[in-house]
Structure 1
Amino acid sequence: MGSLPLDAPVQPLDPEAFAGDSRAVVDFLAEYYRDVDKYPVRAADLEPGRLRKLLPDSAPEHGEPLEDVLEDVRRDILPGLTHWQSPSFFAYFPMNASTAGFAGEMLSVGLNVVPFLWAASPAAAELEGVVVDWMGRLLGLPSRLLFSGGGGGVLQGSTCEAVVCTLAAARDRALAKLGHEAIMKLVVYTSDQTHATFQKGARLVGIPPSNFRVIPTSAASGYGLTADAVRAAVDRDVASGLVPLYLCATVGTTGLGAVDPVRELGEEARRHGMWLHVDAAYAGSAAICPEFQGYLDGAELADSVSMNPHKWFLTNMDCCCLWVASPRDLTSALSTDPEYLKNVGTNGTGKPAAIDYKDWQISLSRRFRAIKLWVVLRRYGAVGLRAHIRRHVTAAKWFERAVAADELFEVVVPRRFSLVCFRLRERFVGDDAVDDVNRELLAAVNESGRAFMTHFVVDGKFVIRLAIGGASTELRHVMDVWELLQAKAEEVLQRYQL
């Protein structure tokens, strides 16, 4: 493949070129996945501006061969990436990729339809409704959150989008009764373990920052939000003339994997007519296994539930399932109906109402995400996906036992799902130095290039997180990182002469 002649017209969807370029990219990625464990997990060169120095100041005037582009990716891009699909990536939460996810993504971007209206791509819109009901049943969600039970679901790009949408729905539902001027009285409640995206979302929908309540948690409740703490905060606000609006219950918090008691919080939300959202972005995937469905007990009290198949469900970015008990509440807050978007010929026919997903999200345009999740479900089935989840939970249990058996280390909170939070013990380091030593340990592990982990701070303590969930991560990789941690701990402690 050479460069195009200077006067050659561009043929962007020539079938032969499409096939050839696609094969070249697939071969490139296959080679990458064969060798991904050979790259430093985190980019070795973290100096900002590196890539700008390597690339030209302006785009090329004439097209270039794809092999030249891929060679530049290999030489300039790959060394500057953090390799999220490395089997030794244990940071943040997993961001799964899979063969089925990639195949579904190829179908999505290849067909490149935009199903914002039912009429814009009927099969795409209807497949989405089918797939979110499939997912809801796999997770054991109550029927009231499914289309088959009067609720419904949509595939968002991220939890952040789902949060803004549900906050807007809750806001408008409340203001329809109170009047728009009452927006200054609305209050949102979360815990100190809740993801910060809820604070951002509350600001975006106009909730005053002074009306955002971050309720403390403690080790006594496993850092879960208690109904008593919520009740006390709500009662204080009600006594001050404020209006409780929205309560978030998290199943699998980002920092520690903590679980809030959904049923108890749901009952408290109903006491004041609050919108209850259940955020199961990471841990929701585990609920396809019967042994984990108890964590969603009480979901029938929720107004909305969300989880991210792109985290731990072998579905390539981006894909977030959002279910709502009342689609009307959501669409009332998000719908627009200009003449140029009306579905001509679909109304008044006596047929089931079409779903226009533009009214279920922030943006108008949207991707055909449903086909990606559908391919994953079809290719792996519930049995294969449960095995994927259980494999990582088993590895996390092994790691937790290894940490607990080592006198230098301690497990900070009991393991939940596949996240283990640990650190070097104070008695071997000293109270004044313990956080610094753990910071150095984490930095040493990450700088080795052999693994990548992140941290959290709870009760003033610096904690190291090991989040297991990579599509290629096996028990042997977890054993390897444990050996690496032990070796680096010895090096760090020697520097402190301990």
Structure 2
Amino acid sequence: MDEESFRDWSMKAAEWGVEYRRTLRERPVRAQTTPGAVAAAIASSAPETAEPMEAIFADFEETILPGMTHWQHPRFFAYFPANAAPASVVAEYLVSAMAAQCMLWQTSPAATELETRVIDWLRQALGLPGRFSGVIQDSASSATLAAVLVMRERALGWQGNREGLAGQKPVRIYCSDQVHTSIDRAIWVAGIGEQNLVRIPVAGPLRAMDPAELEAAIRRDKDAGRLPAGIVASVGGTSVGGTDDVAAVCAVAKKHGLYVHVDAAWAGSAMICEEFRGYWKGIEEADSVVFNPHKWLGAQFDCSVHFLADPDSLVKTLAIQPEFLKTHGRDGVINYSEWTVPLGRRFRALKLWFLMRAYGLDGLRERIRNHVAWSQKLARRLAKTPGFEIVTQPMLSLFSFRHRPPEGGPADDHTLALVNAINDAGQIYLTQTRVDGQLAIRFQVGQFDTSEADVDAAYDAIVEAAAALAGK
């Protein structure tokens, strides 16, 4: 591709993106394709000679696009959002064009220094104390893995990386059953083992870890010769928003010298609104916190911010400095690759800088407040609609519900049939979860361009699908 073709196709791609976003409401939210259909339409081997861009782009529109679920659709109410506000998309165009490898300060000084600055902007916006600094990770999974590795190394006197875990006391990590499965994976990858992830019972409407049970579990492990290392607390768990009492968890941790990592991957964005900060009261006592601006705040995936009260512990755990990675003649520089598991790093800070400047914190707060209000309004409407019940009350903009099966049929079968009917219709997209052993349907508002009318349309789609099932 020569310079002129690069210009033409870059412009066409940008124009396509604008038109795509403009017409999203006209498309079904979830891909309406069958397994294997896309693969069957793709050549079984790569071409030996170059093909024209016109043909490639046409195949993209005809073959690939129909098989895509549209995460930027204003009626995407499944999972948690993976937003890409237009300003962050523009920033990603620039990042892709420069294609910088930002692993060290010297490989792109502006990328490192902008990252330091925008993380501090976010720290201030979230109301975190000045002792926190941070790094942009690719996802909360990576941040949690890094935190678990720090827990392991601190507990083993910084000998785990050198000596391994063989012959060591079993390292124990504590959490509730409301945490994301990324915690399980972190335990696996860190070599700690699933049997050393201790699940603490939950209680109350927020399904919070019981602090008394937490302390009892820690004491039992100490008495049994095991090695308590850390606690992963949840604020806004993926299933139904499970949220621990961070202050109480930190008090127990402090008593026993344990590291506390708070997973607020989704809910953390809402903390730019001061009125929601009660959900993580005591956060200033945590050792690390992760939240994903690529979920609710509007930054394009991937962009996860990992705040640390003591970054030296993370660097001590992860940093390796061969001669070819040293930055000579520059004192006091930060090499963020020493704060992450991957060495390679994209220029993720640019989209945060564009995002916060283009919309302002007030504009971002307004969106989040609207999402919470609209979701809670929908929960109230469904609660008053015959046949529906709210299973878990709204935690910010997330709640779950069920529809009673006709003639006392199997509840789980009916719930699954309902969520499939809703999604097959294509007007909205929802997902299910399991609450106290039974299936329920999750609903969350968080897509960047969702309007109140879109949430009202969700009510209609849910009620109409339930009525159609009941009429069978």
**TM-score normalised by the chain length of structure 2:** 0.96
After TM superposition, give the deviation of residue 187 of structure 1 in Å.
Answer: 0.3
For residues 261 and 222 of structure 1, the distance between their equivalents in structure 2, rounded to whole angstroms, comes to 9
Q: Are 1:410 and 2:397 an aligned pair? A: no
| Greater mean deviation of Cα atoms: 59-68 or 154-163 | 59-68
After TM superposition, give the deviation of residue 221 of structure 1 in Å.
Answer: 4.5
Partner residue, 2:18: 30
Is the Cα contact below 8 Å between 2:415 and 2:439 reproduced in 1?
yes
Is the Cα contact below 8 Å between 2:169 and 2:225 reproduced in 1?
no
Is the Cα contact below 8 Å between 1:184 and 1:208 reproduced in 2?
no
For residues 428 and 38 of structure 2, the distance between their equivalents in structure 1, rounded to whole angstroms, comes to 23
CA 1:42–1:341 in 2, change beyond 3 Å: closer, same or farther? Answer: same
For residues 349 and 168 of structure 2, the distance between their equivalents in structure 1, rounded to whole angstroms, comes to 35
Task: Provide, for residues 301-353 of structure 1, a one-character-per-residue CA deviation record: whole Å limited to 9, x for no partner.
Answer: 11100000000111111000001111110011110111111112214xxxxx1
After TM superposition, give the deviation of residue 354 of structure 1 in Å.
Answer: 0.4
Partner residue, 1:393: 372
Is the Cα contact below 8 Å between 2:136 and 2:304 reproduced in 1?
yes
Partner residue, 1:127: 114
For residues 327 and 178 of structure 1, the distance between their equivalents in structure 2, rounded to whole angstroms, comes to 18
Partner residue, 1:254: 238
Task: Provide, for residues 405-452 of structure 1, a one-character-per-residue CA deviation record: whole Å limited to 9, x for no partner.
Answer: 1131111111011112111147x653x622211111111101111111
Q: Are 1:156 and 2:141 an aligned pair? A: no
After TM superposition, give the deviation of residue 106 of structure 1 in Å.
Answer: 1.3
After TM superposition, give the deviation of residue 19 of structure 1 in Å.
Answer: 2.3
Q: Secondary structure at the match of 1:154?
A: strand
Q: Are 1:100 and 2:79 an aligned pair? A: no
Q: Secondary structure at the match of 2:208?
A: coil
Is the Cα contact below 8 Å between 1:429 and 1:437 reproduced in 2?
no
Partner residue, 1:20: 8
Partner residue, 1:213: 198
Partner residue, 1:7: none
Q: Are 1:282 and 2:266 an aligned pair? A: yes
Partner residue, 2:454: 477
Partner residue, 2:317: 333
Q: What is the correspondence of 1:339-358 to structure 2 with a 5 Å cutoff?
A: 339-347=323-331, 353-358=332-337
Partner residue, 2:288: 304
Residue of structure 2 aligned with 1:83, choices 56, 70, 76 = 70
For residues 294 and 124 of structure 1, the distance between their equivalents in structure 2, rounded to whole angstroms, comes to 34
For residues 169 and 18 of structure 1, the distance between their equivalents in structure 2, rounded to whole angstroms, comes to 45
Is the Cα contact below 8 Å between 1:116 and 1:365 reproduced in 2?
yes
For residues 183 and 154 of structure 1, the distance between their equivalents in structure 2, rounded to whole angstroms, comes to 31
Q: How many residues of Structure 1 are paired with residues of Structure 2 in the alignment?
A: 468
For residues 207 and 445 of structure 1, the distance between their equivalents in structure 2, rounded to whole angstroms, comes to 41
Residue of structure 2 aligned with 1:370, choices 331, 345, 349 = 349
Question: Quick one: which amino acid aligns to residue 199 of structure 1?
Answer: D
For residues 455 and 377 of structure 2, the distance between their equivalents in structure 1, rounded to whole angstroms, comes to 9
Partner residue, 1:45: 33
Q: Are 1:492 and 2:469 an aligned pair? A: yes
Partner residue, 1:450: 427
Q: 5+ residue gaps in structure 2?
A: none
Q: Secondary structure at the match of 1:412?
A: strand
Q: Secondary structure at the match of 1:60?
A: coil
Q: 5+ residue gaps in structure 1?
A: 1-9, 146-151, 348-352
For residues 81 and 196 of structure 1, the distance between their equivalents in structure 2, rounded to whole angstroms, comes to 25
For residues 448 and 214 of structure 2, the distance between their equivalents in structure 1, rounded to whole angstroms, comes to 38
Partner residue, 2:338: 359
Question: Quick one: which amino acid aligns to residue 455 of structure 1?
Answer: Q
Is the Cα contact below 8 Å between 2:318 and 2:340 reproduced in 1?
yes
Is the Cα contact below 8 Å between 2:201 and 2:210 reproduced in 1?
no
Q: What is the correspondence of 1:422-433 to structure 2 with a 5 Å cutoff?
A: 422-425=401-404, 430=408, 433=410
Partner residue, 1:189: 174
Q: Secondary structure at the match of 1:372?
A: helix
Task: Provide, for residues 14-51 of structure 1, a one-character-per-residue CA deviation record: whole Å limited to 9, x for no partner.
Answer: 2x33322211001111121122222221111132x222
Question: Quick one: which amino acid aligns to residue 334 of structure 2?
Answer: I
After TM superposition, give the deviation of residue 71 of structure 1 in Å.
Answer: 1.5
Q: Are 1:420 and 2:399 an aligned pair? A: yes
Q: Are 1:59 and 2:36 an aligned pair? A: no
Is the Cα contact below 8 Å between 2:432 and 2:441 reproduced in 1?
yes
Q: Secondary structure at the match of 2:59?
A: helix
For residues 57 and 435 of structure 1, the distance between their equivalents in structure 2, rounded to whole angstroms, comes to 40
For residues 221 and 301 of structure 1, the distance between their equivalents in structure 2, rounded to whole angstroms, comes to 24
After TM superposition, give the deviation of residue 60 of structure 1 in Å.
Answer: 2.4
Is the Cα contact below 8 Å between 1:393 and 1:418 reproduced in 2?
yes
For residues 217 and 392 of structure 1, the distance between their equivalents in structure 2, rounded to whole angstroms, comes to 27
Computed over aligned residues only, the root mean square deviation of the Cα atoms, in angstroms, reads 1.6
For residues 399 and 52 of structure 2, the distance between their equivalents in structure 1, rounded to whole angstroms, comes to 46
CA 1:183–1:196 in 2, change beyond 3 Å: closer, same or farther? Answer: farther
Partner residue, 2:249: 265
Is the Cα contact below 8 Å between 1:96 and 1:310 reproduced in 2?
yes
Partner residue, 1:435: 412
Partner residue, 2:359: 380
Partner residue, 1:4: none
Is the Cα contact below 8 Å between 2:125 and 2:272 reproduced in 1?
yes
Question: Quick one: which amino acid aligns to residue 479 of structure 1?
Answer: D
